[in-house]
Amino acid sequence: MSRDEKELDQKIKAYFDNLFSGVGASQQLFELKEELTINMKEKIADYRARGMNDEQAFREAVISMGDLNGLVDDMRKLGQDTARMSIYSSMDNRISAGFIVVGVLLALFGIFVMAMTYYMREEGVAVAGNGIFMVAGGMLFTYGLLTRETARKYAMNKVRAALYGLSIGSILFGMFSAVVTHFSVGETYVSIASLMVFFLGGVGLFLLLALTESDRRKQ
């Protein structure tokens, strides 16, 4: 990220931090600020494409966002309603815990079935094919882990967490397809080709997400 981009990001963050300065920190506030930040960056990029410099684009983006005082008031009221906030966070954490549990169980199921078919003297393809459960389990586990609020970090945006899950799933599927292809075709270069397509795509998506990650740490 260039120096200008970093300065612009800091400016946007400072703007929303100042706008919501009277609102208590919460998962809901974090999600709202993240969504508003994404919208503002899109507007700034659009104004830049029209030939404006960063300062002009920022001012125009602020104006185009309209009056956000209503959102500030809503978040302030929600922050005062501690019971409602607690229920919201608790429900989200239960859902994320469900994804984590299902993900782990799917991965373990895949391991056990692979072991069973191996000792049943099944063909290599039949044994390796059960690895698809581990791929699905890895995706669900990743999503559940990232959408879980902790004492130190806010939960990640659900769309972004799903993309992380997709990247991990793509990497695991690349390994899975390489093993299955090896047993099916018996040609090492074909297995490497199968691995390369999905593995590189997954790593590329993961790096893109990691390099554009926002700070989720609680103050």
Give the pLDDT of residue 201: 96
pLDDT of residue 77: 76
C-alpha to C-alpha distance for 16 and 11, rounded to whole angstroms: 9
pLDDT of residue 85: 58
Return the SS3 of 60: helix
Return the closest-CA partner of residue 113 out of 132, 99, 100: 132
- Return phi, psi of residue 187, to 5°: -105, 120
Give the pLDDT score at 87: 59
Q: Where are the domains of the chain?
A: 3-80, 90-211
Return the DSSP state at 156.
P
The pTM for the full model equals 0.79
Distances (CA, A) of 10 to 1, 3, 37, 156: 13, 11, 11, 20
* 217: three-class secondary structure by DSSP: strand
Rounded Cα gap, residues 156 and 214, in angstroms: 9
Question: What pLDDT is recorded for position 82?
Answer: 60
pLDDT, mean of each 10-residue run, the chain (219 residues): 76 90 83 90 92 90 89 77 62 91 97 92 85 97 94 90 97 95 87 93 96 83
